[in-house]
Amino acid sequence: MDMIDPFGRTISYLRVSVTDRCDFRCTYCMAEDMAFLPKKDLLSLEELDRLCTVFIEKGVRKLRLTGGEPLVRKNIMHLVRQLSRHLKSGALEELTLTTNGSQLSRFAAELADCGVERINVSLDTLDADKFHAITRWGHLDKVMQGIDAAQAAGLKVKLNAVALKDFNDAEIPEMLRWAHGRGMDLTVIETMPMGEIDADRTDQYLPLSLLRASLERQFTLSDIPYKTGGPARYVHVAETGGRLGFITPMTHNFCESCNRVRLTCTGTLYMCLGQEDAADLRAPLRASEGNELVATAVDEAIGRKPKGHDFIIDRRTSRPSVSRHMSVTGG
Ligand code: SAM
């Protein structure tokens, strides 16, 4: 029953973008005037649950809800509650989500009640003005309240920051101390060329090899084998006692150990974040009440999971590597 791709990789991790909409417009992620999917094209929460259940039956052990902003999808907690039955049965090891934190103060306690233990919160700066500038629409104080609420509810929070040249590179040491001081891991991410934005990515892109070298002038970083099932590689920071993760899709991809596939809110399955090939699961889902057609479509899709991505950001390559924005498939 396990899903094994042509390169022998077992697929055990599903990321589900439950909406492409977001209440922020981060400059490296989206254009300001984004055209979102018509609501009628979205799968219902029941259909999303059905698809997730098929994947769990086929060996998915970790499921992450993402977006867009997952917590702006109407009645999202209904889906979380439904999916939590797979935690109770033991079929699923982990149910988690990636969020911008804006709605967390409303939902943190209920997430914890549904068996969510850890969440990722995206936060690129601790400076309120810079936060508003990078997110275009976001307010730092709301996110801080969300993080407070999540920790008060007992959720383990990991912060994700996209490393952006001349924006937050000088601030990462402060963010590291702050996050570790509050018992949160911090992961830094290289910006990826996904979808047209209003800026030139070459101006934003910061290779993490440079960031690491600069951090090593202040901190003692030692590589550790810690894994969360995702692509981050971690170091222990001696001065703070905390963990720092590096996600390096540009300078060093870790496609050889990829265990993931990504489902969108319209039922499209992407087998790789950095390739255009996809499989439609909505048609087989709606074609019958049973799950056999979907299961066959999933097997076919896994059978053509590509070896890896080949993202490029440089002055000669003006087009993004993939046309869709990160908000379609989520992080
Ligand atoms: N709204 C949620 C959030 O903010 O975490 C989930 C979706 S968001 C698309 C997931 C993550 O992708 C965020 O951490 C965001 O910073 C990151 N992201 C967006 N566009 C990116 C890009 N082009 N390269 C790298 N990371 C990106």
Kind and range of the H or E element at 78? helix 76-89
Average per-residue pLDDT for the chain = 95
- What angle (nearest 5°) sits at the alpha carbon of residue 16, between those of residues 14 and 32? 140
Please indicate whether residue 31 or residue 102 has the higher confidence score (pLDDT). Answer: 102
Residue 189: phi and psi, rounded to 5, are: -130, 140
Residue 162 has pLDDT above 80, yes or no: yes
- List the single range of 67-76, 145-154, 179-188, 319-328 with lowest mean pLDDT: 319-328
Residue 1 has pLDDT above 80, yes or no: no
Residue 121: phi and psi, rounded to 5, are: -115, 130
Task: Tell me what the mean pLDDT of segment 269-273 comes to.
Answer: 96
Residue 128: phi and psi, rounded to 5, are: -60, -40
Please indicate whether residue 212 or residue 251 has the higher confidence score (pLDDT). Answer: 212
The pLDDT of residue 321? 85
Which ranges constitute the DSSP H helices of 231-318? 282-287, 292-302
Ligand 1 atom nearest to 98, measured from its CA? 5
Task: Tell me what the mean pLDDT of segment 68-93 comes to.
Answer: 98
Distance 121 CA to ligand 1 centre (A): 10
Residue nearest to atom 13 of ligand 1 (CA): 122
Pocket lined around ligand 1, Cβ cut-off 6 Å: 22, 26, 28-29, 66-67, 69, 98-100, 122, 160, 162, 189, 191-192, 194, 326-327, 330-331
Residue 331 has pLDDT above 80, yes or no: no
| Residues tagged in the binding site annotation | 15, 22, 26, 28-29, 64, 68, 98, 122, 158, 192, 255, 258, 260-262, 272
| Residues tagged in the binding site annotation for S-adenosyl-L-methionine | 28, 68, 122, 192
Most confidently modeled of 25-29, 228-232, 238-242, 319-323?
238-242
Query: Ligand 1, from 326, 327, 328, 329: best to mutate by most atoms within 8 Å of Cβ?
Result: 326
Helical axes 208-215 vs 172-181, angle rounded to 10°: 70
- Token duo for residue 218: 């202040």
The pLDDT of residue 316? 80
- List the single range of 122-136, 280-294, 302-316 with lowest mean pLDDT: 302-316
Q: Is the pTM of this model over 0.85?
A: yes
The pLDDT of residue 79? 98
CB 261 within 8 A of CB 274: no
Distance 123 CA to ligand 1 centre (A): 10
Distance CA 28, CA 125 (A): 14
> How would you class 293 by CB atoms within 10 Å of its CB: exposed for 0-12, middle for 13-18, buried for 19 or more?
middle
Which ranges constitute the DSSP H helices of 136-245? 140-152, 172-181, 201-204, 208-215
Assign 2 a pLDDT band (cuts: 50, 70, 90): confident
Residue nearest to atom 14 of ligand 1 (CA): 122
CA max distance for the chain:
60
Assign 317 a pLDDT band (cuts: 50, 70, 90): confident
